[in-house]
């Protein structure tokens, strides 16, 4: 097991917010290493350098956590692309890569599990057993490779997320459990999001909240309510898209002519880095403890968020200096004249 970071998750949260960074699957899809549709992270085995580089970019941008790319790396999903036999190798390699890059800085490593598509509230007894086995196998490999905590994310069902939480607690690791929020107010098994977070907190989750689906504008109002209901740490990991009350999730976004843009024509709705910086500052003001980003996230957003939280990060060395732009910078003509004067001798 590799050496752990000097400061654990809970220790960091006591004194400061933790900056999260996700969106690996969408970003690596854009870069040509993951297929949109199945979204299985085959990149872990097929192009480890591509994943290593993205981890490094998030680290330089100020992420406090390297999240192992095991999202959708479970048995059900790998089966859909005919790679069930690569399950263990892929899961182990993902955690190794996250550790390798985390040690280039002082980042934490998170194991990651997600919705399985196997949970069935109508056949809770049988499906729960299957889900539990899927989480156990993924997390036992992750724990062996070395992780600081586990993120169980994009949970459509509270019932399924409680199984994830139980498995994480049995491993003795801190648990961050966040819900998906595709429906207006409730999980797919009918729990109000705020109530569901409270139940997760009461069952021992160290961090609860929401991730994915919603942009900052439609996620923060729910997270604010969660903050007032629970005494544990709260997480927000929105998608960087301009969702609004009439189109609250990125799945529901449509262009003016009615075309649905999810998941690969979302660009017209992207937030700017300034909007994501404002979100991070607002989240901190609301008392959110784990401030991150989900699908659509990329390093420039994370840097803007980290800087809005008062940090200077390695990539801040190249943060914008628009005043030096040749066309729109300040005193352009004056500077050009000076340059010519200096060089004409």
Q: Which residues bind Zn ion (CB under 5 A)?
A: 212, 294-295
Contacts of residues 250-256 at CB distance under 8 Å and 24 or more positions apart, as own/partner, are: 250/213, 250/214, 250/215, 250/295, 250/296, 251/182, 251/213
Residue with tokens 């799945």: 251
Please report how close the Cβ of residue 250 comes to Zn ion at its closest, in angstroms. 9
Nearer to Zn ion, 219 or 294 (CB): 294
Nearer to Zn ion, 147 or 294 (CB): 294
Do the Cβ atoms of 157 and 188 come closer than 8 Å? Answer: yes
CA angle 20, 154, 247 (to 5 degrees): 95
Number of H helices, E strands in the chain: 13, 8
Provide the pairing of β-strand 233-237 with 207-211.
Answer: parallel
Please report how close the Cβ of residue 110 comes to Zn ion at its closest, in angstroms. 15
d(CA 284, CA 291): 8
Nearer to Zn ion, 62 or 297 (CB): 297
Nearer to Zn ion, 200 or 212 (CB): 212
Q: Is 207 helix (H, G, I), strand (E, B) or coil?
A: strand
Nearer to Zn ion, 119 or 241 (CB): 241
Please report how close the Cβ of residue 180 comes to Zn ion at its closest, in angstroms. 8
Kindly give, in sequence order, each residue whose CB lies less than 8 Å from that of residue 110, ignoring residues fewer than 6 positions away: 65, 66, 67, 68, 98, 147, 148, 149, 150, 151, 176
Give the 3-state secondary structure of 296-341. CCCHHHHHHHHHHCCCCCHHHHHCCCHHHCCCCCCCHHHHHHHHHH
Nearer to Zn ion, 145 or 177 (CB): 177
Nearer to Zn ion, 163 or 294 (CB): 294
* Separation in Å, CA 182 to CA 72, 125, 250, 253, 331: 18, 25, 9, 12, 49
Please report how close the Cβ of residue 293 comes to Zn ion at its closest, in angstroms. 9
Provide the pairing of β-strand 108-114 with 175-179.
Answer: unpaired
Please report how close the Cβ of residue 264 comes to Zn ion at its closest, in angstroms. 14
Please report how close the Cβ of residue 223 comes to Zn ion at its closest, in angstroms. 15
d(CA 60, CA 62): 5
Please report how close the Cβ of residue 213 comes to Zn ion at its closest, in angstroms. 7
Query: Both tokens of residue 119?
Result: 């949970």
Please report how close the Cβ of residue 328 comes to Zn ion at its closest, in angstroms. 34
Which of 112, 24, 16 has its CA nearest to residue 64? 16
């Amino acid at each position: 097991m590799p050496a752990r970071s000097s400061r654990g998750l809970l220790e960091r949260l006591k004194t400061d917010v933790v900056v999260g960074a996700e969106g690996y699957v969408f970003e690596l899809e854009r870069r040509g290493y993951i297929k949109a549709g199945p979204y299985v992270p085959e990149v872990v085995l097929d192009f480890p350098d591509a994943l290593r580089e993205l981890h490094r970019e998030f680290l330089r941008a100020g992420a406090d956590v390297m999240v192992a790319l095991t999202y959708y790396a479970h048995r059900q999903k790998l089966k859909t692309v005919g790679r069930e036999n690569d399950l263990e190798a892929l899961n182990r390699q993902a955690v190794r890569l996250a550790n390798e890059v985390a040690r280039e800085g002082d980042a934490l490593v998170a194991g990651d599990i997600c919705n399985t598509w196997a949970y069935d509230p109508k056949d809770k007894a049988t499906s729960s057993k299957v889900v539990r086995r899927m989480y156990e196998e993924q997390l036992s490999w992750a724990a062996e490779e070395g992780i600081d905590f586990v993120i169980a994310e994009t949970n459509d069902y509270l019932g399924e997320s409680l199984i994830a939480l139980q498995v994480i607690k049995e491993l003795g690791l801190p648990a961050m459990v966040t819900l998906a929020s595709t429906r207006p107010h409730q999980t797919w098994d009918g729990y109000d999001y705020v109530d569901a977070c409270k139940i997760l907190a009461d069952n021992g989750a160290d961090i609860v909240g929401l991730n994915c689906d919603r942009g900052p504008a439609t996620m923060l109002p729910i997270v604010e309510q969660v903050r007032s209901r629970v005494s544990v740490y709260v997480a927000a990991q929105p998608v960087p898209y301009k969702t609004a009350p009439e189109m609250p999730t990125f799945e529901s976004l449509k262009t003016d002519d009615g075309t649905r843009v999810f998941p690969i024509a979302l660009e017209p709705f992207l937030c700017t880095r300034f909007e994501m910086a404002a979100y991070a500052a607002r989240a901190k003001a609301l008392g959110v403890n784990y401030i991150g980003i989900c699908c659509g996230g990329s390093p420039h957003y994370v840097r803007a968020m980290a800087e809005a939280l008062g940090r200077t990060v390695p990539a801040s060395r190249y943060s914008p200096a628009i005043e030096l732009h040749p066309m729109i910078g300040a005193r352009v003509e004056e500077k050009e004249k000076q340059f010519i004067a200096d060089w004409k001798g």
